Amino acid sequence: MQRPIAVLLAVLALAALPATSFGQELTAIHVGAIGYSDATSEPYVAQNAGIFKKYGLDATVVGLSGGGAVVAAVVGGSLDIGFANIISAAQALERGIPIVVLAPAAIYVAPHADALLVKARGSTLRTGADLNGKTVAVTTLGASLQLCASAWIDKNGGDSKTVHFVEVGFAEMGPALKQGRVDAAMESEPALTRDKAVVEPLGDAFAAIAPRWALGVFVASKTWVSANPDAARRFVRAIAETARWANAHHADTARLLSVPSHIDVATFAAMERSEYGETLTAALLQPPLDMALKYGAIKSPLDANKIVADARAFL
């Protein structure tokens, strides 16, 4: 009897990993993720490649709708650890919600952006000033993509305060641009690759923040980390190994994710792949925190050094 394809893929992936084994009984944890986009799929890679089990973790990965929902589930106790975009995490920290940032998730490293500010192919838009008074699509109002677009517009001669931002799903951005319903959009992979016949880049909005910064982080409640420090440490080590392995094995991760994500291997091969952070540092966190403050997503400064120090104190 043939093994299921998922098992075969996991075996292939594990063959590329070091043969270290912890030999302890598995600890059950629930990890929150957001869909199967490349930038948010690191927990699925860790699960499907057997890396969580290698570190003694029996992980159940739970998909939720967004970073705010993940933070709420972590604080409420239905999740132990979760992926959150950096803005959702920053807003939670500012409000004094008792979470710990454990590790970086997807990061931006110039010039390899997996999301771009795009326009309809053939559009005459060129600069930030050209977007004054125009309509720009983002997936979530006030979140990271809008803030990045605002920063790019302001750094390229425009005034983001005059721009009308609207919520549009990634799958609808290409048609919206082609039909003229929006003038530009913050579009992410794999939609960028799928829509390349109808859209073209206007600018790398991520670069307007910094050459290297954390797009997302893994968070846990302080209560859970205090009660489960060993499991938290093993998660951090597991996710760091996942980042190292995934960053160097794009073809393997494409095979692991193609079926559950409904992204075919050819599209994975053609698109800009996400990079995952391996170590939590203040240098990765501070640029987006400063951006969030500048554009009003948070109201008071957050010190990335303190966030990293808090994580180390708990771990």
Mean pLDDT of 298-307: 97
**C-alpha to C-alpha distance for 83 and 285, rounded to whole angstroms:** 15
pLDDT digits (tens, 9 = 90+) for 162-220: 999 999 999 999 999 999 999 999 999 999 999 999 999 999 999 999 999 999 999 99
User: What six digits make up the tokens of 106?
Assistant: 């997807």
Quote the pLDDT of residue 92: 95
pLDDT the model gives residue 9: 42
The neighbour count for residue 255, using CB atoms within 10 Å, is 18
Mean pLDDT of the chain: 91
Check residue 23 and give its pLDDT: 54
Q: What percent of the chain has pLDDT over 90?
A: 84
CATH code for the part of the protein at 5-109+212-314: 3.40.190.10
- Could you please report the per-residue DSSP string of 156-213? TT--GGG-EEEE--HHHHHHHHHTTS-SEEEEETTHHHHTTTTEEEEE-GGGGT-SEE
- Contact present, 217 and 84 (Cβ < 8 Å): yes
The 27-33 sheet, strands edge to edge: 57-63, 27-33, 81-85, 216-221, 99-104
Tell me how far CA of residue 200 lies from CA of 77, 95, 118, 151, 191, in angstroms. Answer: 43, 39, 5, 19, 12
Q: How far is Cα 189 from Cα 77, in angstroms, rounded to an integer?
A: 32
Q: Do domains 5-109+212-314 and 115-208 have the same CATH topology?
A: yes
pLDDT above 60 for 14: no
Residue 5 pLDDT more than 60? no
Q: In terms of pLDDT, which residue wins out, 203 or 21?
A: 203
The pLDDT value given to residue 24:
64
Please tell me the least confidently modeled range out of 34-48, 96-110, 267-281, 295-309.
34-48
Buried b / exposed e over 93-106, threshold 16 CB at 10 Å, is bbeebebbbbbbbb
8 Å CB contact between 259 and 55:
no
Q: Is 244 left (phi over 0), alpha (psi -120 to 50) or beta?
A: alpha
Cis amide linkage into residue 190, ω under 30° from 0? yes
What tens digit of pLDDT does each residue of 34-93 get? Answer: 877 888 999 999 999 999 999 999 999 998 878 888 999 999 999 999 999 999 999 999
CATH of domain 115-208: 3.40.190.10
11 secondary structure, DSSP code: H
Which alpha helices (H) appear in 195-279, and where do they start and end? 222-227, 229-248, 250-261, 265-270
Angle between helix axes 282-294 and 86-94 (nearest 10 degrees) is 80
Q: What is the mean pLDDT of residues 144-158?
A: 97
Q: How far apart are CA 313 and CA 308, in angstroms?
A: 9
pLDDT for residue 10 is more than 50: no
What confidence score (pLDDT) does residue 67 get?
81
Q: Would the pLDDT of 123 be above 70?
A: yes
The CA–CA distances, whole Å, from 296 to 9, 67, 189 equal 44, 18, 27
**Of residues 137 and 24, which shows the higher confidence score?**
137
Structural domain boundaries of the chain?
5-109+212-314, 115-208
Asked if residue 6 has pLDDT above 50, the reply is no
